[in-house]
């Protein structure tokens, strides 16, 4: 335990007095107290461990070297936030996005590849050992398109939704009683329109051109009421809204034209709902913006209210956003900026509108994903190009993340998934 970690430990334990902390610090300094017992003390105070899975890339993507080996299993100390590597839970090709079913018994992963069954990406299903975290491969099926970048499981646990970024398509895969995924019950190819290469709302001097060569579905997820399924198409600058027929596993467009358009070239990537189910926030990859929408949970309609930059005022240059999420209490919103390598922090007004609070460095290169532990105490950044995960403690009053000094080395991290 370093003195820095000791200070963090003391700050989170009200019954550890300054005198006791100084005694432990002195013992550490003189070498009379071995690291083992101090670590054991910290574990005793923390009271529990949590298992965490990390998806990685093992082939080059977005300038990363592809240094991962598959899905890694870590143990998280819930008091300090430290991640300890246990094993590679599953060797797999580019498992860049992971999701549990509602029971937590099964884990599903995209395989962001182009050659499964000669011309497709794939989805893998794993059974989860709740005691050890071990993963057992159940089966692997076609994602019905190349380069799947995102998947999610609907709240009923009956279907997996997949967005095939490079294939320009999405698919619905049924979940069988065994936890395996079956062949697609529905596929859709996004067609008929592609936005401009330069983002309408990009910062000055930006050359953030990534996905307006063709259609690129980037995320697919149901709304909090599990009544509608939304997906973004970055190349089309659109957010689509569907209903799901739970008997057939087919999607149908809501209304006409069945989507809302964002400014040309801005590139909607990921989105997140507020827990009230009525506020929707979309993150634009090439414009580096967040757009706030009113979402009607009865009709599925979405109505834009506000656009705000994820970058500081007067920024000029190129940056790409990656991930967006809420604080545990829903009072703050976080967005990750790649190349700028920061996490932007926003506060929410009572009407859902955002105010820029500030930013913090991710302490790494190209944060592809950010996530909060289930308690909302720690935020983690998966820095793809610098091969590490960095850990931050959240200030509950201000929403600001403070770097804990912890770097967890891992090849080409793409996402984190916490066991419940």
At a CB cut-off of 8 Å and minimum separation 6, what does 147 contact? 112, 113, 114, 121, 164, 165, 166, 167
- Give residue 292's pLDDT: 99
One-character DSSP codes across 167-208? TTEEEEEEBPTTS-B-S-SEEEE--S----SS-TTPPBT---
Which secondary-structure segment (H or E) carries 416? strand 413-418
Which secondary-structure segment (H or E) carries 232? strand 228-233
What are the structural domain ranges in the chain?
1-47, 190-361
User: Of the candidates 148, 83, 100, 70, which has an alpha carbon nearest to the alpha carbon of residue 381?
Assistant: 83
Cross-sheet strand order for the sheet of 106-116: 98-100, 106-116, 120-128, 135-142
- Give residue 314's pLDDT: 94
The answer to whether 240 and 252 are in contact (CB under 8 A) is no
SS3 state of residue 33: coil
Q: Is 182 left (phi over 0), alpha (psi -120 to 50) or beta?
A: beta
- Give residue 119's pLDDT: 95
Distance (Å, whole) CA 339 – CA 191: 30
Task: Please count the other Cβ atoms lying within 10 Å of the Cβ belonging to residue 189.
Answer: 14
190-361 CATH, one of 1.10.10.10, 3.40.190.10, 2.60.40.10, 2.130.10.10: 2.130.10.10
Q: Which long-range contacts (C-beta less than 8 Å, at least 24 apart) are formed by 389-398?
A: 389/54, 389/83, 389/413, 389/416, 390/362, 390/363, 390/364, 391/81, 391/82, 391/83, 392/343, 392/360, 393/8, 393/81, 394/327, 396/329, 398/357
Distance (Å, whole) CA 230 – CA 254: 10
Per-residue pLDDT of the chain (420 residues; tens, 9 = 90+): 333 333 333 333 333 334 434 443 444 333 333 333 333 323 333 457 999 999 999 999 988 999 999 999 999 999 999 999 999 999 999 999 999 999 999 999 999 999 999 999 999 999 999 999 999 999 999 999 999 999 999 999 999 999 999 999 999 999 999 999 999 999 999 998 999 999 999 999 999 998 999 999 999 999 999 999 999 999 999 999 999 999 999 999 999 999 999 999 999 999 999 999 999 999 999 999 999 999 999 999 999 999 999 999 999 999 999 999 999 999 999 999 999 999 999 999 999 999 999 999 999 999 999 999 999 999 999 999 999 999 999 999 999 999 999 999 999 999 999 998
User: Of the candidates 233, 264, 252, which has an alpha carbon nearest to the alpha carbon of residue 150?
Assistant: 233
The pairing of beta strand 268-273 with beta strand 367-372: unpaired
Which secondary-structure segment (H or E) carries 27? helix 18-30
């Amino acid at each position: 335990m370093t003195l820095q970690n000791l200070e963090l430990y003391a700050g989170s334990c009200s019954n550890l007095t300054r005198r006791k902390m100084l005694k432990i610090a002195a013992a550490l300094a003189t070498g009379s107290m071995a690291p083992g017992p101090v670590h054991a003390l910290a574990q005793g105070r923390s009271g529990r461990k949590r298992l965490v899975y990390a998806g990685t890339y093992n082939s080059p993507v977005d300038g990363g070297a592809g240094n991962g080996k598959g899905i890694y299993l870590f143990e998280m100390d819930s008091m300090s936030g430290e991640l300890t590597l246990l094993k590679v839970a599953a060797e797999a090709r580019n498992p860049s996005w992971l999701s549990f079913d509602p029971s937590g018994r099964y884990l599903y992963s995209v395989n962001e590849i182009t050659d499964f069954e000669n011309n497709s990406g794939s989805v893998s299903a794993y059974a989860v050992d709740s005691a050890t975290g071990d993963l057992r491969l159940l089966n692997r099926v076609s994602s019905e398109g190349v380069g799947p970048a995102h998947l999610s499981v609907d709240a009923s646990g009956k279907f997996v939704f997949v967005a095939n970024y490079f294939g320009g398509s999405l698919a619905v895969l049924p979940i069988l009683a065994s936890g395996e995924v079956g062949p697609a019950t529905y596929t859709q190819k996004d067609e008929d329109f592609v936005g401009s290469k330069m983002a309408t709302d990009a910062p000055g001097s930006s050359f953030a051109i990534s996905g307006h060569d063709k259609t690129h579905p980037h995320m697919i997820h149901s709304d909090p009421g599990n009544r509608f399924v939304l997906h973004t198409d970055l190349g089309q600058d659109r957010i689509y809204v569907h209903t799901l027929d739970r008997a057939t596993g087919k999607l149908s467009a809501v209304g006409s034209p069945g989507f809302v358009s964002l400014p040309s070239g801005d590139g909607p990537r990921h989105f997140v709902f507020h827990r009230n189910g009525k506020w929707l926030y979309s993150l634009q990859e090439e414009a580096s913006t967040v757009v706030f929408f009113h979402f009607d949970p009865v009709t599925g309609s979405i109505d834009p209210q506000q656009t705000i930059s994820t970058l500081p005022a007067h920024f000029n240059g190129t940056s790409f956003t990656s991930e967006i999420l809420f604080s545990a209490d829903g009072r703050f919103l976080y967005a990750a900026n790649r190349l700028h390598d920061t996490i932007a922090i926003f506060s929410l007004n009572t009407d859902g509108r955002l105010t820029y609070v500030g930013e913090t460095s991710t302490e790494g290169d190209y944060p592809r994903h950010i996530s909060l532990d289930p308690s909302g105490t720690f935020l983690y950044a998966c820095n793809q190009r610098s091969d590490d995960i960095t850990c931050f403690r959240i200030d509950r009053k201000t929403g600001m993340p403070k770097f804990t000094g912890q770097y967890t080395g891992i090849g080409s991290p793409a996402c984190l998934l916490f066991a419940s």
